[in-house]
């Protein structure tokens, strides 16, 4: 993503814009919509996380559907219903903030960021404190099994009070009476009750026990390694509800799929690329900084949690063995509320970012018009806020809130995000493979591993996501609008023809015959056969073609126009220098040659004209002496300077600044110099073309456009007028190298212009 962002101007749309302009509208639209859905459902996931914190840890009494006294499926259903109600309320509040304006989201983002940083610092401080004074965080074990700490207060079978042994609440849970001679569960009778510390501290050495994976099947008991447990291999499991068990079957790729959405926030900046002052600079720096920061925080947290917290607590998903207490809150210093409040605001902030970025992504797709059914969502308020897209985003986000299960939503998000990342990387790989001239990213490190990770996480979710993307692709292909963006996939198919010829290109040898085809078709066939034999003799690989017309001039023109197949067209014409053109009776020869030059220029073809080619040595000749002189001029380390001309009363500083910005967007590194001259020394045309950028800027300022909108308008105007200006007029800006390697006076350097990829105006 950073590579594509540094390869040109990135307007609104972020990753969608990058993919669509590299792989074509079909791929861009398909992946863009999938990424939009992923971003929208991510907002639902963040909102659900905030509500879960609110109802379980901050204010449990706020539950509309009471949770007290409920267990198992009933408790889970009541919690999900509470999350649906409060999630809808929070979603409405967040959508209102986004509707009012993105500037308020940016202001709130600073508050949320401060809460997140404070929470992270509190966790690290708590880890350090555990090495000095570990917190009292008991876990009760029966044998090696972890007990659900509910409905009992003391982790013991019996207590001695005033010399009398009495049974505890834990005894009553496994025995049929509170008396010592009661009939108890066999496992309870044969094993001891042990009280261990759930957070033994960073100096306890618990890291070695937690170092390696230990995955559970659904329904497996969470047990403590190294603790004696007396049980028979065929003993039935009784009182299963009293123990902490695994609620799902866990394995590495499943955990990656659940964990992955926590790192998808790094794309938030690219989704709002239209609001960035300099997207080429901000996206790479912000994205790499986000990846680095989150990676360090997450990896260090995993390591430190494994060094401080017992394994049975880490595998206790709902905190049943610690009486529902928040483990990381207990670990943090100075108070658990730092983590609770910080986590709540963090999830709220992430939800706001999703609700801000997703509508802008949909607006960019709708404005491109590649999906006719979505065009209505391209409309916006006067300040540019995508109102209709925000409404659609809120409705889709509500679907995720009604699902209410984080575990069900998280893998879906992972598939959509991984698909987007995969196609961003694929766009880079294609541009590198095609070696297109306009592919000059400043950031050069990229890869393509996301497809593998998709199938490792969840193969069926990966297939579903790819089917959805494929369906959207076909819909856009048959119903979408045609776009002149270029297409890396089609470019790859055309580039393959060059590789089929071992990198030597497609060669067509043609000859022109005078007459009518009906009378001379046999002559044309013999001419093609003769050409084919000559090509075999000279070891030239390619095709041969003979064209018959009423005169040689038209026959040559037909050869230039009709040679090739579809996109496999020639881009250069090789023709010999006319012989005896100075003689009076050969005037038509040089006239035909001049017309040929004009036609190749009109067709934008390169023209190669060898002279005295008959004197060249043939492929069969071998020379044992002589020299081949090659003069190689190395430009790599030379600095480029661009000079522009201004009148004495012009704003030379502003002109230099505008030209420097323009070159920066074109990824051209050069020094800009403004030469001030008097009116008499500047031609009207040169003066006009030199100031055209400043004049356009003034016009755009008068119509009250923002700075980003002005830059995009200038880019679009330049793209649409580039071809006509270059054909009608000579270059007005000369690229000059330093004095050690002067430019050839026969071929002055032309001004660098961007590829024609912007919308027509």
Q: For residue 239, give both structure tokens.
A: 């009182």
Residue-wise DSSP of 409-462: HHHHHHHHHHHHHHHHHHHHHHHHHHT-TT---S-------HHHHHHHH-HHHH
CB-hemisphere CA count at 13 Å for 468? 19
Which residue, among 289, 307, 7, has the nearest Cα to 127 in the 3D structure?
307
Residue 665 predicted with pLDDT over 90? no
DSSP letter (8 states) at residue 610: -
Q: Phi and psi for 437 in degrees, rounded to 5?
A: -60, -30
Instruction: Give how far Cα 195 sits from Cα of 143, 153, 622, 699, 753, Å.
Output: 10, 12, 94, 78, 74
∠ at Cα 366 (360, 369), nearest 5°? 150
Q: For residue 132, give both structure tokens.
A: 């000095």
Q: Which residue has the tokens 């995955």?
A: 215
Q: Which residue has the tokens 């809150």?
A: 329
pLDDT at 124: 94
Summarize pLDDT for 265-291 with one digit per residue, the tens: 666 666 666 666 776 677 778 777 888
Structure-model confidence comparison of residues 483 and 373, the more confident one: 373
Q: How far apart are CA 260 and CA 250, in angstroms?
A: 15
pLDDT band at residue 733 using 50, 70 and 90 as cut-offs: very low
Q: Which residue has the tokens 């009363």?
A: 649
Question: From the DSSP assignment, how many helices (H) and strands (E) are in the chain?
Answer: 26, 12
- Is the distance from CB of 215 to CB of 310 less than 8 angstroms? no
pLDDT at 18: 66
Summarize pLDDT for 457-492 with one digit per residue, the tens: 667 777 777 787 778 778 777 775 555 555 545 555
Residue 407 predicted with pLDDT over 50? yes
**Which residues are bridge partners to 146 per DSSP?**
141
pLDDT at 51: 92
Q: How far apart are CA 151 and CA 140, in angstroms?
A: 13
Residues 6+ apart with CB under 8 A from 70: 78
pLDDT band at residue 545 using 50, 70 and 90 as cut-offs: confident
pLDDT band at residue 198 using 50, 70 and 90 as cut-offs: very high
Structure-model confidence comparison of residues 117 and 487, the more confident one: 117
Please state the rounded mean pLDDT for residues 663-676. 81
pLDDT at 439: 63
Indicate the helix (H) or strand (E) that contains 486: none
Q: How far apart are CA 534 and CA 487, in angstroms?
A: 38
pLDDT band at residue 156 using 50, 70 and 90 as cut-offs: very high
pLDDT at 660: 86
- Is the distance from CB of 756 to CB of 723 less than 8 angstroms? yes
Please state the rounded mean pLDDT for residues 606-612. 84
Mean pLDDT of the chain: 77
Q: How far is CA 569 from the centre of its chain?
A: 34
pLDDT band at residue 757 using 50, 70 and 90 as cut-offs: very low
Question: Minimum mean pLDDT among 120-129, 151-160, 207-216, 456-465: which range?
Answer: 456-465
Structure-model confidence comparison of residues 557 and 27, the more confident one: 557
pLDDT band at residue 631 using 50, 70 and 90 as cut-offs: low
Please state the rounded mean pLDDT for residues 127-156. 91
Residue 622 predicted with pLDDT over 90? no
pLDDT band at residue 683 using 50, 70 and 90 as cut-offs: low
Structure-model confidence comparison of residues 551 and 743, the more confident one: 551
Which residue, among 190, 209, 289, 264, has the nearest Cα to 14 in the 3D structure?
264
pLDDT at 231: 82
Q: Which residue has the tokens 């497996």?
A: 220
Question: Minimum mean pLDDT among 51-65, 577-591, 619-633: which range?
Answer: 619-633
Q: Are strands 138-142 and 671-677 parallel, antiparallel or unpaired?
A: unpaired
pLDDT band at residue 681 using 50, 70 and 90 as cut-offs: low
Please state the rounded mean pLDDT for residues 711-727. 50
Residue 140 predicted with pLDDT over 90? yes
Which residue, among 441, 551, 543, has the nearest Cα to 501 in the 3D structure?
543
């Amino acid at each position: 993503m950073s590579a594509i962002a540094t390869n040109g101007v990135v307007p609104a749309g972020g990753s969608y814009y990058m993919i669509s302009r590299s792989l074509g509208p079909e791929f861009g639209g398909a992946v863009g919509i999938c990424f939009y859905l992923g971003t929208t459902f991510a907002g639902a996931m963040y909102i659900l996380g905030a509500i879960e914190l609110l109802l379980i840890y901050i204010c449990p009494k706020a539950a509309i559907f009471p949770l007290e006294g409920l267990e198992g499926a009933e408790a889970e259903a009541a919690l999900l219903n509470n999350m649906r109600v409060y999630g809808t309320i929070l979603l409405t509040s967040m959508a209102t903030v986004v509707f009012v304006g993105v500037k308020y989201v940016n202001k709130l983002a600073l508050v949320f960021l401060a809460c997140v940083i404070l929470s992270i610092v509190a966790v690290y401080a708590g880890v350090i404190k555990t090495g000095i004074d570990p917190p009292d965080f008991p876990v009760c074990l029966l044998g090696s099994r972890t007990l659900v700490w509910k409905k009992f207060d003391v982790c013991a079978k019996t207590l001695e009070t005033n010399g009398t042994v009495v049974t505890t609440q834990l005894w009553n849970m496994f025995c049929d009476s509170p008396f010592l001679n009661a009939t108890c569960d066999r496992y309870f009778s044969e094993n001891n009750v042990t009280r261990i510390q759930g957070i033994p501290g960073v100096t306890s050495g618990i890291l070695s026990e937690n170092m390696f994976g230990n995955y559970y099947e659904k329904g497996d008991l969470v047990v403590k390694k190294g603790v004696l447990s007396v049980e028979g291999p065929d003993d039935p499991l009784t009182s299963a509800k009293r123990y902490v068990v695994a609620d799902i079957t866990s394995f590495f790729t499943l955990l990656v799929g659940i964990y992955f959405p926590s790192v998808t926030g790094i794309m938030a900046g690219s989704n709002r690329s239209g609001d960035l002052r300099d997207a080429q600079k901000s996206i790479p720096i912000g994205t790499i900084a986000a990846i680095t920061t989150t990676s360090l925080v997450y990896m260090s947290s995993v390591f430190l949690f494994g060094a401080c917290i017992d394994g049975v607590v880490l595998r206790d998903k709902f905190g049943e063995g610690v009486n529902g207490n928040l483990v990381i809150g207990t670990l943090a210093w100075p108070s658990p509320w730092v983590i609770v409040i910080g986590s709540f605001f963090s999830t709220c902030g992430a939800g706001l970012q999703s609700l801000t970025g997703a509508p802008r992504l949909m607006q960019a797709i709708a404005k491109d018009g590649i999906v006719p059914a979505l065009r209505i969502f391209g409309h916006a308020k006067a300040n540019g806020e995508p109102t209709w897209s925000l409404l659609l985003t809120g409705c889709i986000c509500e679907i995720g809130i009604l699902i209410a299960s984080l575990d069900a939503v998280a893998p879906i998000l992972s598939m959509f995000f991984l698909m987007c990342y995969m196609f961003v990387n694929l766009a880079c790989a294609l541009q590198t493979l095609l070696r297109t001239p306009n592919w000059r990213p400043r950031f050069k490190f990229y890869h393509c591993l996301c497809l593998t990770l998709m199938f490792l996480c969840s193969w069926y979710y990966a297939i579903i996501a790819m089917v959805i993307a494929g369906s959207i692709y076909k819909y856009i292909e048959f119903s979408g609008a045609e776009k002149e963006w270029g297409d890396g996939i089609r470019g790859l198919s055309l580039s393959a023809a060059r590789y089929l010829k071992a990198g030597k290109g497609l060669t067509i040898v043609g000859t022109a015959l005078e007459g009518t085809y009906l009378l001379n078709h046999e002559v044309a066939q013999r001419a093609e056969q003769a050409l084919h034999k000559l090509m075999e003799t000279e070891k030239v690989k390619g095709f041969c073609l003979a064209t018959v017309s009423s005169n040689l001039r038209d026959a040559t023109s037909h050869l230039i126009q009709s040679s090739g197949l579809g996109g496999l067209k020639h881009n250069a014409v090789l023709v010999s220098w006319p012989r005896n053109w100075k003689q009076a009776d050969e005037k038509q020869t040089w006239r035909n040659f001049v017309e040929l030059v004009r036609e190749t220029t009109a067709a934008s073809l390169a023209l190669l004209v060898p002279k005295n080619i008959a004197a060249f040595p043939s492929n069969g000749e071998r020379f044992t002496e002589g020299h081949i002189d090659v003069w190689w001029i190395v430009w790599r380390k030379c600095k480029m300077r661009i000079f522009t001309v201004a009148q004495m009363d012009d704003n030379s500083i502003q002109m230099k600044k505008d030209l420097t910005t323009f070159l920066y967007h074109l990824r051209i590194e050069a020094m800009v110099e403004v030469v001030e001259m008097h009116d008499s020394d500047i031609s009207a045309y040169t003066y006009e073309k030199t100031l055209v950028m400043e004049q356009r800027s003034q016009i755009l300022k008068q119509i009250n456009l923002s700075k980003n909108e002005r830059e995009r308008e200038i880019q679009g105007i330049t793209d649409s007028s580039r071809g006509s200006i270059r054909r009608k007029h000579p270059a007005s800006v000369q690229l000059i190298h330093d004095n050690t390697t002067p430019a050839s006076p026969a071929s002055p350097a032309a001004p660098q212009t961007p590829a024609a990829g912007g919308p027509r105006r």
